[in-house]
Amino acid sequence: MPNIEIILGDITRQAVDAIVNAANCSLLGGGGVDGAIHRAAGPELLAECRTLHGCETGKAKITKGYRLPAKYVIHTPGPVWHGGGYGEEELLRSCYRSCLELAAENGCETVDFPSISTGVYHFPLEKAAPIAVGTIAAFLREHPEIRRVRMVCFDGRTKAFYDRALEELR
């Protein structure tokens, strides 16, 4: 069984090879987990992000972690939820896959994700959680070089959705 864990915590405090940032297409910072990651990493992160010239929804780009305990930050703009008829589910799947591809290419063995798109982008948690754990599990089966992936949930309600999705996978 792929090594996926669901924890309650602050992703900016995790000493892993890569943390994922639920960014926007500018990659120039914002609120939520994006703001927290930029604050914790320091201004060098924004300076590197400026050299990346943004990112499309569903794709991902990687930077160093600077003052974070994590070695790398993988930035991915998730889809804004517009009701489900605009390819939102496939775009969210693509976020998780793109981040894991970059992690594997950069030799990351441990990767932590936040709950992409379920904050200000309003993707329903009951749909986002099974997409996240299903996509991660499928990737890990093909890429055993990634040893462990965690979903780092910021509140108990979010964690409950991911716990259930993982249980239903097993």
Rounded least distance, CB 144 to ligand AR6, Å:
26
- Active site includes 34? yes
Residue 99 CB, nearest distance to ligand AR6 (Å)? 13
**What's the Cα-to-Cα distance from 170 to each of 38, 98, 118, 124, 133, rounded to whole Å?**
35, 24, 23, 22, 11
Residues between 7 and 36 that touch ligand AR6 (CB under 6 A): 10-12, 22-24, 30-34, 36
Task: Answer yes or no whether residue 119 interacts with ligand AR6 by CB under 6 A.
Answer: yes
H or E element that contains 5? strand 4-8
Query: How many residues at the interface with ligand AR6, by CB under 6 A?
Result: 25
User: How far is residue 23 from each of residues 131, 137, 138, 166, measured CA to CA in Å?
Assistant: 18, 23, 23, 24
The footprint of ligand AR6 on residues 61-80 (CB under 6 A) is 78
Q: Which is nearer to ligand AR6, 39 or 141 (CB)?
A: 39
Q: What residues contact residue 112 under an 8 Å CB cut-off, 6+ apart?
A: 11, 14, 16, 18, 19, 20, 70, 149, 150, 151, 152
Q: Give the residues lining the site for ligand AR6 (CB under 6 A).
A: 10-12, 22-24, 30-34, 36, 78, 114-121, 152, 154-155, 158
